[in-house]
Chain A
């Protein structure tokens, strides 16, 4: 990271991974080339120790989480293909597949990325050594990545096979199973996030539980359009206790 104020240091700022510039009496050229801009040198301490630490923790958590979120979804589709003579039947309805990434599970991710804090700013300013967590690769390293991937595999297997064994040899149809798997994957992914959130604000609650409710609402809407093959599945399913 590099930090300077004069116009002759623009190239140095551009070469660095993170460039911070001061806008002040020597003009704003450094500011225009940098990633972060500040008004005073004393703000640097807060930028690094507080915001730098928070950004590191959030990014380090969310990168594996996004892999997990998408991998669970895709792996579930993959396990289903093993049951369909490898004919790539998608177990999710077309609209649900589109909505999954955008509507059902993206809002909690965004909210966590903005609002989650593992330690308060007072603690971080008081114990600068905590900033070393980034240097020591504590929150995101190769080992954690592989553990996340194995966990994803395990969760997708459970997610797929539990409803499968429950409804084996029964009269269930394909779109009811699709509906069940859709809601199961959304709840799973959101609960996983909920267990890892360190700081719950009402917006966080709204985002996590709201996503689950929105998923149900979308499914009710989609299942009410007669032209779709999955007409009426959610109403039929909800009546049965097995669901």
Chain B
């Protein structure tokens, strides 16, 4: 690029012989950038660099892996799958019909604490095979409507849950319509355990995304109307509290990334001792039977790493171990069969005997 500019401008001068010194030539001003002579650094991969790099990686990763694995093992987690158990055996052949018609869905479960759990203990409900990340589901919401009362008619992205009886639905969309409505209450030795349901959603959602004075018009609040094809998809909303305090709705509307996901239900703020039995009274309302979804109740403590997940610890250990192994291998190869830097016998035309 630069030699072309120099050449063509000296060509414009008309003389084919511009190598003769002409101080007033039309050569562009010399600068390190245009002549590509900027100071540069050329790192070359020598065996010493490679081995040191791999050793460094293993030295950093192996302790992190060990720490992560210990943190994950510290977490105590109790998982209880209840969607089949909570249907009386007589109705298990047609679960969908049972869940849609039955009036009383109370179910009593017992869980045993395997290790001491320190407060706060997080209560989650876990759904399997529920695709909250389906494209049409994710799009089916109206953030403008949730934020302020003035935009309540902004329901275009919410079809089919946009209008009911000629009025726009607030909050509209499939996400709000399918709000999870199982409830759980816990007791220990006949004494009720309080579940704190405040503060379970993101603070930024409560303050900025969901408005305080949004007027609700929610079809789940009305009874099922099978004749007209409208029926409840999930929970109804308490119209006496503002939208920014409907924490269950806010948590549910943060759509999950994967088909198996957990959402925070509440927190238990007392310690649970080892081998205690907790009685759970749950209302099995939510219909996951039409799509073979599973429902699980999860009680979990947390560590600095979050919930129970061995994967990060194992991954770090694996990569650290592999790096260490590679560093050792390269050291052995370098000591046994060294290769001189800049050895011309490795040039491509010297390697292929008889190559062009």
Residues of A within 8 A of B (CB): 22-25, 28, 31, 36-40, 42-43, 46-47, 51, 83-85, 87-91, 115, 117, 129, 132-133, 135-136, 138, 162, 164-174, 176-178, 198-203, 226-229, 231-232, 235-236, 240-242
Contact = CB atoms under 8 A, between A and B. Distances in A.
Given A231-B208, A241-B305, A38 B257 contact: no
A117 B35 CA distance: 13
A232 B12 CA distance: 60
Contact of B312 (A171, A228, A242): A242
B3 A241 contact: no
Given A47-B3, A115-B38, A171-B263, 16 more contacts: A22-B11, A22-B16, A25-B16, A31-B8, A38-B11, A39-B18, A87-B131, A168-B258, A168-B309, A170-B307, A171-B264, A172-B261, A200-B42, A227-B144, A232-B202, A241-B305
Central interface residue in B16, B255, B356, by most chain A CB within 10 Å: B16
A36 B4 contact: yes
Interface in B299-356: 304-307, 309, 311-312, 315, 348-349, 355-356
A90 B134 CA distance: 10
6 contacts: A22-B16, A24-B16, A39-B11, A89-B134, A132-B356, A174-B133
Interface stretch (B108-116, B135-143, B160-168, B236-244): B135-143
Interface string B30-71: 000000101111110000000000000000000000000000
A90 B264 CA distance: 25
B74 to A, nearest CB: 14
A39 B7 contact: yes
B10 interface: yes
Contacts of A133: 348
A121 to B, nearest CB: 9
A173 B312 contact: no
B4 A231 contact: no
A197 to B, nearest CB: 9
A-B CB proximity, top 8 nearest: A23-B11, A232-B204, A177-B257, A39-B7, A39-B11, A24-B16, A173-B254, A89-B135
A171 B262 contact: yes
A127 B36 CA distance: 20
Contacts of B136: 87
Contact of A84 (B38, B131, B307, B349): B131
Counting chain B residues whose Cβ lies within 8 A of the other chain, the interface size class is 35 or more
B133 A235 contact: no
A171 B124 contact: yes
B257 A172 contact: yes
A164 B4 CA distance: 52
Contacts of B349: 129, 132, 136
Nearest to B6: A39
Contacts of B305: 241-242
A173 B309 contact: no
Given A39-B7, A136-B348, A242-B306, A167 B36 contact: no
Contacts of B134: 84-85, 87, 89
A37 B4 contact: yes
A191 to B, nearest CB: 13
Contact of A164 (B16, B124, B258): B258
A19 B204 CA distance: 63
Contacts of B131: 84-85, 87
A158 to B, nearest CB: 10
B19 interface: yes
Contacts of A129: 349
B88 interface: no
B151 to A, nearest CB: 10
